[in-house]
Structure 1
Amino acid sequence: MEFDPSITTLAAVIQIAVAPVFLLAGIAGFLNVMSGRLGRIVDRARVIERKAAILQDDARLPAVQYELRTLWRRIKIINWSIGMCTASGLMVCSVVVCLFIADFWHLPMDQVIVVMFVLALLLLISALVLFLKEVQLATRILQKGRSFIDD
């Protein structure tokens, strides 16, 4: 059997592509967490919307409306976070594809790959910051609800 250098080269490219694939697995886990949060927020918003419809002239209506506005704000933020995280995952996939294309056709794509990887990380950072903002909003609404209970 003859030694085929392309197999060795392919193995090297696969080794290089493994790190972005691990990043992609982490992004997928994060997307799973955020989708779960989004589902719970939407469920809570539906409950609060029904409650607001019942409490038309009640003194508690402003508090319920405040919570509902906050829930819709959280939905918007988590949607943006999911979008940024998904875009980050797409960039990571593009990096892996470009690694293989650059090697297969011997194209100088070093700068493109670096830019896409940095963009993927910036999108992931943005997603994490938005996620943190959503968690802070959730905590704030819980603290406000606690003050109503303590009164």
Structure 2
Amino acid sequence: MPTEPTISAIAHVIQLSVAPVFLLSGIAAILGVMAARLARVVDRARAIEEEVMAKPLPPGPLHEELAALSRRAQIISLAIGLCTTTALLISAVIAVLFLSAMFSFESSAVVASLFVAAMLTLIAALILLLREILFATAGLRFGPR
């Protein structure tokens, strides 16, 4: 029969949960940046599509830009998915910490595995964000065309 968790055990779990909660705040900020980048890509793509629909042109620079925007949107959408997965994994870490305190079971392997998985998905999301940024800046042209 499981023992009743003590206040000190729950307080200890709350202390352990503080770092993952701060990590969730950072992930939320990164998600905000990614969502803003996706919104700008979508807005630009809609503007170009309107221009193409207004006066249909043979394939050219506008069509190339639409293709590039489509690729950027795919990359950043995948990054958002991975970042959201990271937040879910960190939330699972917090839940397992509390469940282990309430039901007195050893959770270190589960918590460590979830945390490592969260860090791997965060790394992948950040790599994709960097890839999208590099892809966006590669197509920049300054000065006369």
Residue 74 (structure 2) aligned to one of 68, 73, 76 = 76
Residue of structure 1 equivalent to 2:92: 94
- Distance in 2 (CA, whole Å) between partners of 1:78 and 1:111 is 32
Shift of 1:150: 2.7
Shift of 1:108: 1.4
- Distance in 2 (CA, whole Å) between partners of 1:99 and 1:107 is 10
Which one has the bigger helix percentage? 1
Structure 1, gaps ≥5 residues long:
none
Please report the TM-score for the alignment, with normalisation by the length of structure 1.
0.87
Residue of structure 2 equivalent to 1:135: 133
- Distance in 1 (CA, whole Å) between partners of 2:104 and 2:118 is 24
What is the correspondence of 1:17-96 to structure 2 with a 5 Å cutoff?
Answer: 17-57=17-57, 61-96=59-94
- Distance in 1 (CA, whole Å) between partners of 2:32 and 2:88 is 16
Instruction: Tell which has more relative contact order, 1 or 2 (C-alpha 8 A, sep 6+).
Output: 2
The residue type equivalent to 1:150 in the other structure is P
Shift of 1:55: 4.6
- Distance in 2 (CA, whole Å) between partners of 1:57 and 1:127 is 36
How many residues are matched?
141
- Distance in 2 (CA, whole Å) between partners of 1:57 and 1:106 is 68
CA deviations on 1:24-58 (whole Å, 9 max, x unpaired) are 00000111111111111100000111222345346
RMSD: 1.5
Q: After TM superposition, where is structure 1 displaced by more than 6 Å over at least 4 residues in a row? A: none
- Distance in 1 (CA, whole Å) between partners of 2:57 and 2:29 is 44
Matched, 1:150 2:144: yes
- Distance in 2 (CA, whole Å) between partners of 1:22 and 1:109 is 21
Structure 2, gaps ≥5 residues long:
none
Residue of structure 2 equivalent to 1:10: 10
- Distance in 2 (CA, whole Å) between partners of 1:150 and 1:106 is 69
